[in-house]
């Protein structure tokens, strides 16, 4: 494996250029206007897996966007690593806040990435991190060091709830059989301090609609005499948190797995600087649930957030109007033992009960998934830690993340295997935001670290 560093150095310009080509295709899964591009990206991923050395690659059609499946089976008696990633990306808007166009990747230096970072939608989430695995395979095939079997499963609907992947996994248990699932779609603490994500939050995502009168009304002629759906919606949403920022939905916390004081003390050891955190976000203070610190609020505690709210007149100038309808999109991040379908039901029942006479309320569930925690005493975790230790010079710290990859819990249920989350992104990489980027250092370090995971996983499995 000594040669991986040299191999990366020799080929880094090509590695970067290949990723840039992939990033140029706007594979936005949420918006059907980009549908053609999403399919085209699947083809590009397929071609890259073939070139890297998979001996079988196929585009698997689904009711939605296709799944790219690839494999290289060298010996059925050896372990099999299943690599998962996604080739779809979030919508790029608001466009005007990008300093360079989201699908015209450029390398720019930043304070955190003095060696440069690739700016493009999907650079970090997840095309860049997924492609590290393709290049790591290329190295292992070229250098004849692939120590086990490998399967790739790259989907195109992660950002919209992985519906087709659930469908696919349920129907292909045998094909997807593996000893460990490896994913790079999370982050690490910093470029000096690697970490391994040991937990993901679950998710319940709903859309609500409040209807008042059957048409928009003159706010002078009718104002004061009928319920204004926007006023009512604002009031209903405000009541979902109490003065301690606890969520008020009855039963919401019933199954929440509480951490012991020892576990919380362990968490507090991870490096974190509140002043820098506030500075990075231009905040004069943080905000959240009483009784918990920032790193607990955003990882081991459940939340409820409005992601978007609209209704009435929002154009230029003033229009005097009482809207007929008001809407909001609401997400709840869940922690282990909370069941997303049950939480969706509790929300629906409670939200409907909040509606006063004079309006009607509809709640439409979008998608969701369970949270996940992975043990730190597994072979996979140990192998990942050994790999990071070798390339970064310091051991990785286990960290529970606040983000969600709902399909991970389903993998465990359907495929009966654990997932190792080897992320190489940074929180400051602006995933889902304008100016998303991925450090060139992170990209190349990932390519270097992954083959070591293979090596140690196979060694420890003996
Ligand atoms: N890669 C992210 C999730 C993530 C990022 C986890 C960083 C941990 C650290 C993933 O693509 C994502 O954005 N997931 C969505 C959920 C999905 C169902 C839309 C999320 O977390 O909002
Ligand atoms: Mn992702
Ligand atoms: Mn994402």
Residue in 121, 163, 185, 302 to alter for ligand 1 test, most ligand atoms within 8 A of Cβ = 185
Chain mean position to CA 421: 11
| Any domain includes 441 | yes
Give the pLDDT confidence score for residue 140 in this predicted structure. Answer: 98
Which residues line ligand 1 at a C-beta cut-off of 6 Å? 125-126, 158-159, 161, 185-187, 200, 203, 401, 403-406
Give the pLDDT confidence score for residue 1 in this predicted structure. Answer: 59
Residue listed under structure tokens 């790591």: 136
Q: Give Dmax over CA atoms of the chain in angstroms.
A: 79
Ligand nearest to the CA of 28: 3
pTM of the model as a whole: 0.94
| Any domain includes 275 | no
Give the pLDDT confidence score for residue 263 in this predicted structure. Answer: 92
Query: Looking at the structure, do residues 221 and 350 belong to the same domain, yes or no?
Result: yes
Query: Looking at the structure, do residues 310 and 340 belong to the same domain, yes or no?
Result: yes
Q: Which 3 state secondary structure label does DSSP give 308?
A: strand
Query: Looking at the structure, do residues 321 and 400 belong to the same domain, yes or no?
Result: no
Question: 362 alpha carbon to ligand 2 midpoint, in Å?
Answer: 30
Query: Looking at the structure, do residues 172 and 117 belong to the same domain, yes or no?
Result: yes
Residue 2 — pLDDT band, cuts 50, 70, 90?
low
368-411 pLDDT tens trace? 999 999 999 999 999 999 999 999 999 999 999 999 999 999 99
pLDDT at 358 over 80: yes
| The last residue of a domain, from among 328, 353, 369 | 369
Query: Looking at the structure, do residues 321 and 432 belong to the same domain, yes or no?
Result: no
In angstroms, rounded to a whole number, what is the distance separating the alpha carbons of residues 319 and 135? 56
Burial of 170 (0-12, 13-18, 19+ CB in 10 A): exposed
Q: What is the CATH number of the domain that holds 160?
A: 3.40.630.10
In angstroms, rounded to a whole number, what is the distance separating the alpha carbons of residues 335 and 203? 9
Query: Looking at the structure, do residues 250 and 106 belong to the same domain, yes or no?
Result: no
| The last residue of a domain, from among 351, 369, 387 | 369
Q: What is the CATH number of the domain that holds 218?
A: 3.30.70.360
Burial of 434 (0-12, 13-18, 19+ CB in 10 A): middle
Nearest CA to ligand 1 atom 13: 159
Query: Looking at the structure, do residues 353 and 234 belong to the same domain, yes or no?
Result: yes
| Any domain includes 228 | yes
CA proximity to 131, closest of 1, 12, 254, 274:
12
Query: Looking at the structure, do residues 310 and 443 belong to the same domain, yes or no?
Result: no
Query: Looking at the structure, do residues 220 and 157 belong to the same domain, yes or no?
Result: no
Peptide bond into 126 cis (omega under 30): yes
Query: Looking at the structure, do residues 219 and 79 belong to the same domain, yes or no?
Result: no
Number of structural domains in the chain: 2
pLDDT at 62 over 70: yes
Range of the domain at 349: 202-256+302-369
Question: 24 alpha carbon to ligand 1 midpoint, in Å?
Answer: 21
| Any domain includes 263 | no
Report the pLDDT averaged over residues 345-351.
Answer: 98
Query: Looking at the structure, do residues 183 and 243 belong to the same domain, yes or no?
Result: no
Question: 418 alpha carbon to ligand 2 midpoint, in Å?
Answer: 18
């Amino acid at each position: 494996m000594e040669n991986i560093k040299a191999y990366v150095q020799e080929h880094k310009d090509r590695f970067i250029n290949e990723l840039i080509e992939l990033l140029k295709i706007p594979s936005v899964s949420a918006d059907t206007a980009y549908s053609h591009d999403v399919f085209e990206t699947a083809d590009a991923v397929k071609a890259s897996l073939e070139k890297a050395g998979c001996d079988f690659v196929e585009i698997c059609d689904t009711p939605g966007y296709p799944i790219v499946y690839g494999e290289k089976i060298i010996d059925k008696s050896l372990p099999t690593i299943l690599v998962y990633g996604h080739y779809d990306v979030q919508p790029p808007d608001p466009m005007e806040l990008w300093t360079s166009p989201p699908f015209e990747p450029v390398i720019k230096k930043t304070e955190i990435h003095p060696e440069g970072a690739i700016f493009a939608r999907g650079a970090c989430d997840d095309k860049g991190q997924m492609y590290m695995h393709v290049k790591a395979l290329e190295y292992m095939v070229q250098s004849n060091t692939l120590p086990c079997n490998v399967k790739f499963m790259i989907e195109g609907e992660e950002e919209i709830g992985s519906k087709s992947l659930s469908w696919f996994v349920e129907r292909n248990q045998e094909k997807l059989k593996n000893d460990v699932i490896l994913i790079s779609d999370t982050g690490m603490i910093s470029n000096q301090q690697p970490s391994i994500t040991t937990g993901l939050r679950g998710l319940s995502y709903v859309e609500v609609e409040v209807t008042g009168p059957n048409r928009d009304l003159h706010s002078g002629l009718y104002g004061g005499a009928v319920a204004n759906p926007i006023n009512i919606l604002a009031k209903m949403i405000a009541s979902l948190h109490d003065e301690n920022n606890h969520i008020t939905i009855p039963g919401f916390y019933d199954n929440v797995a509480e951490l012991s004081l020892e576990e919380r003390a362990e968490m507090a050891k991870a490096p974190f600087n509140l002043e820098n955190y506030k500075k990075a976000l231009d905040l004069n203070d943080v905000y959240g649930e009483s009784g918990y610190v920032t790193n607990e609020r955003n990882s081991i505690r459940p939340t409820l957030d409005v992601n978007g709210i609209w209704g009435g007149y929002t154009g230029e100038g003033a229009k005097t109007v009482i809207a007929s309808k008001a809407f909001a999109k609401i997400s709840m991040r869940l922690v282990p033992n909370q069941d997303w379908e049950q939480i969706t039901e509790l929300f629906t029942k409670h939200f409907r009960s909040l509606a006063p006479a004079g309006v009607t309320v509809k709640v439409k569930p979008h998608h969701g998934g369970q949270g996940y925690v992975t043990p730190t005493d597994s072979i996979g975790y140990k192998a990942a830690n050994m790999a990071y230790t070798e390339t970064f010079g310091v051991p990785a710290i286990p960290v529970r993340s606040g983000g969600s990859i709902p399909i991970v819990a389903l993998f465990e249920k359907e495929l009966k295997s654990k997932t190792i989350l080897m992320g190489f992104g940074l929180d400051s990489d602006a995933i889902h935001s304008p100016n998303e980027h991925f450090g060139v250092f992170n990209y190349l370090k990932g390519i270097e670290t992954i083959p070591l995971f293979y090596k140690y996983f196979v060694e420890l499995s003996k």
